[in-house]
Amino acid sequence: MRLYADNAKCSGCRACLVACSLHLFGENNPKKAALAIVPHFPAPGTFEVNVCTQCGECATVCPVDAIHQNEKRAYYVDPGECTLCMACVDECPEGVIFTRPDLDYVWECDACGDCVDVCGPSALWITEREEV
């Protein structure tokens, strides 16, 4: 499974980020989310949503094998194993592996789908990965 986003439908409200932080950290804090909204204002006036495509590059480059797949075949980082070497962060083509100064590990989208539930304009959805 993976998360998909339609930029044209996103209104930039960030409910998805809060739902995400509640799932991942049990905290109401959008700065701890595993997807990103990039506003482009005042021109051209659009939102860009960056989500994990579950490409697996992160797991490939991780030198300590801290990145695994869950039952949905979505990648996740084991906080206990992560050494914060930043290899995955540098490698991620979407820029959706996140860090914070107060945490000693990185995190990414585990395709839980909580963001989808709170997206009013239905700009987000989760489905089986399209095989390339």
Partner 1 sequence: MDGYAGRMLRVNLSDGDITTEPTPEEVIHDFLGARGLGAYLLWTEVPQGADPLGPDNKLFISTGPLSGTLFPGAGKMDFTTKSPLTGGYAGASVGGMLTAEIKYAGYDSIILEGTSPKPVYLYIDDNAAELRDAEAYWGMGSFALEKRLKDELGEEFQIATVGPAGENLVKYACISHDFGRQAGRGGVGTVMGAKKLKAIAVRGSGGIPIADTAEFARIAKEAYRACKEAELLDVWTRYGTMMVTSWCDENGALPTRNFQSGSFEQGSSIYAPTFREKIVVTDKGCFGCPCPCGKYSYSKKHDVYVEGPEYETNGMMGSDLGVGDIEDIAKANQLCDELGLDTISAGGAIAWAMECYEKGILDRDQTDGLDLRFGNAEATFALIERIARREGWLGNLLAEGVKHAAAEVGQGSEKWAIHVKGMEQSAYDTHDATSMLLAYMTADVGAHHNRAWAITYDISVGRDLVTPEKAAKVIELQHIRPLMDALGCCRLQWVELGMSLDYYAPAMTALTGVEYSWENLLHISERVWNLTRMIWVREVEGFGREWDAPPSRFVEEPAIGGTTDGKFTPPEAAQRMLDYYYEQRGWDDDGIPRPETLERLGLAELVEV
Q: Per the omega criterion (within 30 degrees of 0), is the bond before 79 cis?
A: no
Residues in region 48-107 near partner 1 by CB under 8 A: 100
CA distances from 109 to 43, 44, 114, 129 (A): 29, 28, 11, 14
- Residue 121 binds partner 1, judged by CB under 8 A: yes
The answer to whether residues 18 and 30 touch, using CB atoms and an 8 Å cutoff, is: yes
- State the minimum distance, in angstroms, from the CB of residue 98 to partner 1: 12
- State the minimum distance, in angstroms, from the CB of residue 23 to partner 1: 9
# of chain residues touching partner 1 (CB under 8 A): 35
- State the minimum distance, in angstroms, from the CB of residue 25 to partner 1: 8
Alpha-carbon gap, residue 73 to 102, rounded angstroms: 29
The interface mask with partner 1, positions 7-36, x = CB under 8 A, is -xx-xxxxx--xx-xx---xxxxxxx----
Q: Residue 19's closest CA among 87, 103, 79, 109?
A: 109
Q: Which residues bind partner 1 (CB under 8 A)?
A: 8-9, 11-15, 18-19, 21-22, 26-32, 38-39, 41-47, 100, 114, 117-122
